[in-house]
Amino acid sequence: MAKVQRFASVSRTNGDAGYESYKSHHACPFEGVNEMIKACNLQNYSIYYWDGLLFSYYEYVGDDYEADMAKMAADPTTQEWWAAVVPQMRPFGADGPWVDMEELYHLD
Amino acid sequence: MAKVQRFASVSRTNGDAGYESYKSHHACPFEGVNEMIKACNLQNYSIYYWDGLLFSYYEYVGDDYEADMAKMAADPTTQEWWAAVVPQMRPFGADGPWVDMEELYHLD
């Protein structure tokens, strides 16, 4: 079994309308989005919400994270998906909709 | 295999000093804390930080979450641990240091 790498990041929704749209989109992602995520070796992927905050958690089980993320970014369906959902978000930083968090604790 | 229930919650640290203390405590929890967490059927437990925000994620694999949480809350070592770390946090709500988040998306 490949070593599991965990990734967590934070963002926020763009007002109440952003939350409602983000929620409905993620209840039924575009066809092919989930399949590409799996093909890029991500698993156990969850997104949570509270009062404007979004929190994302997933595990990477492949051998080359950068290459798999580049593969995902090059996928036309994923690009359509991001174009649809990113406007529903309001980033914390300037580097994109999500900001990486620091792991302070882990227990398998 | 028991069904996995996922739980996520958000909190924040009590200033820079709270962050430093929270981080150092969680790098080396009191002896017995991790063991009690496992004994209460929690697994894959992570806590993340960004800019004052704390995010907690874990999975429950037992048959009675309420009973296991009550067991943990009754454990003297866990009580000592909470007494040490809760002052390092500044809750969002009035119901304790952590607020439950809503799951908007999950992909196994």
Query: What's the ipTM?
Result: 0.95
User: Which chain A residue has its CA at the smallest distance from B36's CA?
Assistant: A107
B91 pLDDT band (50/70/90 cuts)? confident
What number is the average pLDDT over the span B75-92? 94
Q: Which of B42, B53, B103 sits opposite A48 (nearest CB)?
A: B103
What pLDDT, on a 0 to 100 scale, did the predictor assign at position B2? Answer: 63
Cross-sheet strand order for the sheet of B99-100: A102-107, B42-50, B53-60, B5-12, B99-100
pLDDT more than 70, % of chain B = 98
pLDDT surpasses 70 at A2: no
What number is the average pLDDT over the span A76-89? 97
Distance from the B23 Cα atom to the nearest Cα atom in chain A, whole angstroms: 6
- In chain B, what residues touch A48 (CB-CB under 8 Å)? 8, 10, 55, 101-104
What pLDDT, on a 0 to 100 scale, did the predictor assign at position A15? Answer: 95
- In chain A, what residues touch B38 (CB-CB under 8 Å)? 107
Q: How many CA atoms lie within 13 A of B64 on its CB side?
A: 5
pLDDT surpasses 80 at B39: yes
Better pLDDT: A80 or A97: A80
What number is the average pLDDT over the span A68-78? 98
What number is the average pLDDT over the span A77-106? 92
- In chain B, what residues touch A21 (CB-CB under 8 Å)? none
B104 to A51: CB separation less than 8 angstroms, yes or no: no
Gap between the terminal Cα atoms of chain B: 15
In b/e form, how buried is each residue of A88-107, taking b as 16+ CB within 10 angstroms?
bbeebeeeebbbebeebbeb
- In chain B, what residues touch A93 (CB-CB under 8 Å)? none
- Is residue A20 less than 8 Å (CB to CB) from chain B? no
What pLDDT, on a 0 to 100 scale, did the predictor assign at position B1? Answer: 53
